[in-house]
Structure 1
Amino acid sequence: MSFSKRASRWANSALVVTVTSNDFDSFGAHGPLAGVGFQSATNVCFSVSETTLPPSSYRLGVHASKLHELFSSRVTEALQQSIVAFDKEVSVLLVWLQTRTSSPVQVSRHADTYESTSLGGLYPIGEGAGYAGGIISAAVDGMYCGFAVAKTLGLYRGDIESVLGIAHKNTGFVKY
């Protein structure tokens, strides 16, 4: 992507595949931090092949890798389908994989109060706690946590106006 006026011939995008604990097994990653082990393993497990690749904007250069040797067949098939669909629209080069679209762990919390299940007064929210995958979903998670805390403190009557004020009525944010 161009850093000036987006006028470069390069662009970026992402293909996202959900991974589960079943996908961690091939890496020997188990337990509550299995996702961290999976991320570490995927960063070093590439089998490089000798293939000529088109030019890239990646300054360190690119090398062909066999992703099917790295991921489970479920993940590999999802990536293959996405790449085929992408390639029908535009010529693409998948430069790297990113294993961190969200936290590899999730801090336990009560569904109704958003309070930690192990430490009272702690409210694990957003990306770092494993409840969001980006800035918007983290903001919404924080907002819902705010509603839950307000409800716990008796400051929430069950309508959006009691928290945000009458000016924000009909914003579409209704959960409680």
Structure 2
Amino acid sequence: MPETIYVEALRALADHQGDAYVQRRELHLAAVRRYVAKLSFGAKLPTLTEIAADLCTSVAYVAAALRTMDLLGEVVHGNKGYRYRLRPQEQHPMDVGLDKAVREGIRDGTHQSGTALPVGILAQRHGLAIEMIPRAMRALIRDGLVADREGPAGRAFYVRDPQDAVLDRIRLSPRSS
């Protein structure tokens, strides 16, 4: 899902700036991903300058790659050097408030089954840019509470029926012998 947003952004850049530019960004993203993959989960990332020097590239390309990886939930790339590698399925610290608010809203009936979540309002309320919403919704989707689908409000994040979520968990749980 966030991967789709990134691909669409790359296509827009290709239309605007040419394929060579996009290919360079993709190559730098792949190089930074390989670099980060060598670090242990939870490890603090080196500075942008250190990564750029190790990869023989510019700080701007490293920063762009880390921003993309942050949007995809692979690293935390914050201000003031707050950067580290996330574990698989680990929730980004910026997403915790929104996740908690949506879960609470579903539980108390504020967000009704079948309705689209007001992502713009939620993003603003929790200090997230709108492009961070897909990353923030991953745990809710994984837990069967929200679905990213086409619906009455167009493509959106819709609250799922709680019974469907329970049935999904039963269907997907390993069978005991």
TM-score using structure 1 length: 0.30
Q: Which has the higher helix share?
A: 2
Radius of gyration: which is bigger?
A: 1
Q: Which has the higher strand share?
A: 2
